[in-house]
Amino acid sequence: SYVLTQPPSVSVAPGKTATITCGGTNIGRKSVHWYQQKSGQAPGVVIFSDVGRPSAIPARFSGSNSGDTASLTISRVEAGDEGDYYCHVWDSAAVQAVFGGGTRLTVL
Amino acid sequence: QLRLHESGPGLVKPSETLSLTCTVSGGSNRMPTYHWAWIRQAPGKGLEWIGTVSNGGTTYYNLSLRSRVTISVDTSDDQFSLRLTSVTAADAATYYCASQHDPASAGLFDYWGRGRLVTVSS
């Protein structure tokens, strides 16, 4: 089955840039979505289809996807960006939705 | 925008069946364009997709759960449901329902319910 690998944690100082990676074999051929989950809340979409951004999400959030790695980049990080971030793809070969293990973003 | 709400027992006994319902509102005329999914999250753990149902009743299940899972949809009542049989402590989790774009179009989960915490205990 298809596996997505994320770092368990990323820490960044306020105002700096955070990059969260999502690794998978030839993930660049798939469409990757990213979700943010704040403590005690349901997840919400921050990036869809590699680079799409919902209208309510600040332009500080961006995505990329190539080769074996997809990335979520958060520029000018704010304290409110803290939470868990999950990548997700649809594995059409296995007809399965697959989530990465999640990355906890800590703002120092 | 769509709103989704999970309902059902918060406590299930081991070996029994977990049953949850998700009610969709705020745009039920859009139901035919969506698929519907259940996703769970064990305490302190990550997200686990359980399965998806289309409005036509086509289902896709997590391979690790498919022998115990049934997801069904009732478009006339704007609801879809989850049944998970023979539960164990490992099934204790917060269960989320979500709307899903057509998996053939990458299957984004765009609207989520708030989640229903289910405990497994005798």
Nearest CB among B48, B104, B112 relative to A44 is that of: B112
In the numeric block, which tokens belong to residue A11?
A: 């820490």
Nearest alpha-carbon partner for A51 in A36, A67, A73, A19: A73
The number of CA neighbours under 13 Å toward the Cβ of B93 is: 22
Tens-digit pLDDT profile for residues A41-56: 999 999 999 999 999 9
Tens-digit pLDDT profile for residues B72-122: 998 888 899 999 999 999 999 999 999 999 888 889 999 999 999 999 999
In the numeric block, which tokens belong to residue A45?
A: 């979409």
Contact A33 B115 (CB under 8 A): no
Task: Give residue for tokens 């971030």.
Answer: A85
Which residues of chain A does B100 touch, with a Cβ-Cβ cutoff of 8 Å? Answer: 97
Q: Are A90 and A30 in contact (CB under 8 A)?
A: yes
